[in-house]
Amino acid sequence: MSRLDGKVALISGAARGIGGETARLMALAGAKVVVADMLDDRARQTVAAINEAGGQAEFVHLDVTKEADWLAAIAVATQKFGKLDILVNNAGVFIGKGIEEISLDEWDRLVAVNMTGVFLGTRLAAPALREAAKASEHGSAIVNLASIAGIVGSQLDPLYSMTKGGVTLFTKSAALEFARKGYRIRVNSIHPGVIQTDMGEQTFVSRARRAGTNDTAAIRQVVTDSVPWGRMGVPTDIAKGIVFLASDDAGYMTGSGLVVDGGMTAT
Ligand SMILES: NC(=O)c1ccc[n+]([C@@H]2O[C@H](COP(=O)([O-])OP(=O)(O)OC[C@H]3O[C@@H](n4cnc5c(N)ncnc54)[C@H](O)[C@@H]3O)[C@@H](O)[C@H]2O)c1
């Protein structure tokens, strides 16, 4: 795995799932990690596990839709750990309803978390990332959690797909803007396939609902059979990709998307 010695990372939605595993792996790779989430108790458990294993992590409450929360989270990184080298815009929500079923409130929530959250994090962390980049040969890094649903259409949730498509192209545009301005902040996205997390479980429930059944075990098998590599993804599959994109090993990557999907979008 790539190393992150001496780096400081802020990860949104890091209480559990892909974000939680990313926090754990980043700490193992030598980074100091700010675990930011709305699930305070769960996030504190993630922090405790990292610190008990010999890593360095801090918890901060963050609702990615709130500007003041972002400023407080960035301050934890810069005041407790001295700087900010890495931002992972990981927090996200999935609704799992069709165009004719989703309510306007649900759509507003999707946009607020999946898009406004990424925009706010990028804008508000940029000054600290820019500052840290001055002392780093390969600059600072932002990694945005998009999805394969941000590259190809989603039969399950077209509105989620719209938000992740937005994250995909925002990543490229932010990379270009920061490069043009000479900020030395690399911006890349990662595109997971179906990953076994709480959100992954939500996708099985909505697939089952659409098929008119409660049998999520059968649905899980159908999904597994559809993955060319023959298994569903687990958080660590994605976290390893995030660590790479955040590390100096990806020092010439910006505006790119890393697809980690067991071959699902290769067909
Ligand atoms: N699981 C998958 O199959 C899959 C596939 C593609 C992309 N993704 C993306 O990966 C990312 C992580 O997903 P996951 O599968 O780990 O999901 P998850 O539901 O297990 O974790 C998401 C985390 O985000 C947090 N969160 C939600 N709203 C928030 C807010 N407003 N402010 C701060 N934190 C908030 C949650 O509390 C939770 O800890 C998401 O952006 C998701 O869209 C997941």
User: pLDDT for 168-200, tens place per residue?
Assistant: 999 999 999 999 999 999 999 999 999 999 999
* Structure tokens belonging to residue 112: 């607020």
Cβ atoms of 133 and 182 closer than 8 Å = no
Question: Which residues are catalytically annotated?
Answer: 160
Pocket of ligand 1 (CB under 6 A): 12-13, 15-19, 37-39, 62-65, 90-93, 113, 145, 147, 192, 194-195, 197-200
Report how far apart, in Å, the C-alpha atoms of 186 and of each of 133, 201, 247, 253 are.
10, 32, 10, 7
Distance between CA atoms of residues 34 and 130, nearest Å: 18
Instruction: Report, as an integer, the average pLDDT of 120-137.
Output: 98
Report how far apart, in Å, the C-alpha atoms of 28 and of each of 6, 8, 23, 24 are.
12, 13, 9, 6
- Could you identify the residue written with the tokens 């946009």? 111
- Non-local (6+) Cβ contacts of 7 within 8 A are 26, 30, 31, 32, 85, 86, 246
Q: Which of 11, 16, 18, 201 to mutate to test the pocket of ligand 1 (most atoms within 8 A of CB)?
A: 18
pLDDT of residue 2: 87
- Non-local (6+) Cβ contacts of 119 within 8 A are 170
Examine the pLDDT at 109 and tell me if it is beyond 90: yes
Q: Which of 195, 90, 77, 62 is nearest to 129 (CA)?
A: 77
Q: How confident is the model at residue 158 (pLDDT cuts 50, 70, 90)?
A: very high
- Whole-model pTM over 0.75: yes
Q: Hey, whose CA ends up nearest to atom 42 of ligand 1?
A: 92
Q: Which of 197, 237, 264 to mutate to test the pocket of ligand 1 (most atoms within 8 A of CB)?
A: 197
